[in-house]
Amino acid sequence: MIEAENLTRRYGRTVAVDALSFDVRPGGVTGFLGPNGSGKSTTMRLILGLDQPDGGRVRIGGRRYRELRWPLREVGAMLEAKAFHPGRSARSHLAALAAGNAIPRTRVDEVLDLVGLTSAAGRRAGKFSLGMGQRLGVAAALLGDPAVLLLDEPVNGLDPEGVRWIRNLLTSLAAEGRTVFVSSHLISEMAVTAERLVVIGRGRLLANTTVAELSAGAASLEAAFFRLTGDSVEYAAKETTS
């Protein structure tokens, strides 16, 4: 479970995250939805201790991320898909992560198969397409078989088959009782992937509810989203047809 309480982060005069409070519970996919620049990535960095909050706090299973003894075995994250040395193969990259977190080497081949990279395991990761890089990032997040997953825009660069794959993967992981927190600026994607939505705009919480509750009384989920965020209809059309 992830619990954020009055989380605040400033960069100079810019307030990127503004007194943000929400929780992410296990057993379902929670979508983290907002326009580009709304504070989603900054919030995920705060959850993982990569940035320090100016106010408030965030806990994963009741503890700060830095208090976890074996972080990769408890929390899997992908904030930047191509966060790997371009000269290493996919297998070598995952093997190094496994060694540093006391994860059995056999798990490397398991996750490579899970994300569909077995045939490319020996290739240099720097030559991967964006979609393959996304798959490798997901493999790294799953390496420790964690109970909590945070994925930032995981469908970027994936073809239609890859998008269906990530949807099925996330729902199956959540069905196992894991906490799955996935960010996106694509309303249509969250509508078919998530059960709950945490919606933010300009760093502030706009809604923490289910997909059904958010769209109730509106012509569509898109209409409900734009009512909250104030984004233009032109923006909606562009994103929902991506």
Which pLDDT score is estimated for 237?
34
Which pLDDT score is estimated for 231?
59
The per-residue pLDDT for range 4-39, each reduced to its tens digit, is 999 999 999 999 999 999 999 999 999 999 888 889
Q: What are phi and psi of 120, to 5 degrees?
A: -110, 10
227 vs 183: CA distance, rounded Å: 19
Which pLDDT score is estimated for 238?
40
H or E stretch covering 28 = strand 28-33
Structural domains present in the chain: 2-80+148-240 (3.40.50.300)
For the chain, list residues with pLDDT below 50.
Answer: 232-242
